[in-house]
Amino acid sequence: MGEEDAATAAEVWNVTAGGNFHEEATGRATGANVLHLTETMKGSAMALGTDERELATRMEDIRERLLEARSRRVRPGLDDKVLTDWNGLMIAALAKAGAAMGEPSYIEAARRATAFI
C-alpha cells in the first residue's frame, strides 16, 4: 500500500501514531490501533476533500488488499471455552422470565442453552 492510501486509511479508520486502543481495566493507552470508523463515509470524504463515492471505492480496494495480506498471516489462537458461570446466569434469567411472563420461547431458549453447555 502506498503512502497516500495508508494516510487515507489512517484518517478514515482513526489510526494514530500513539494508538487509539486503551486497556479496559486500567484505561492505559497500549500504543495499538483498532481500525474503526469515527465518521460517516460522507464526513470522511468532506474531511479529505474528496467525493464520497470515490472514497468508498478507494476504501473498498484498501480493505480488500488488507484482507489479502491478513490471509497470509498465521491465525491467532482461538479461545473457544464455554464459560458455564455466565451461561448459567443467562439460563436462569431466561427460565425465570419465561415462567413469570408465560413466554415459552424464553424457556425454550434456556433449554437450548443448557443443552449447549
Residues 26-83: tens digit of each pLDDT: 999 999 999 999 999 999 999 999 999 999 999 999 999 999 999 999 998 888 887 7
58 and 103 share one domain: no
Percentage of residues of the chain with pLDDT beyond 70: 100
Q: Indicate the angle between helix axes 3-12 and 52-71, nearest 10 degrees.
A: 100
Domain span at residue 101? 84-116
* pLDDT value of residue 1: 84
Domain count, the chain: 2
- The pTM for the full model equals 0.61
Q: Indicate the angle between helix axes 84-101 and 104-116, nearest 10 degrees.
A: 160
7 and 63 share one domain: yes
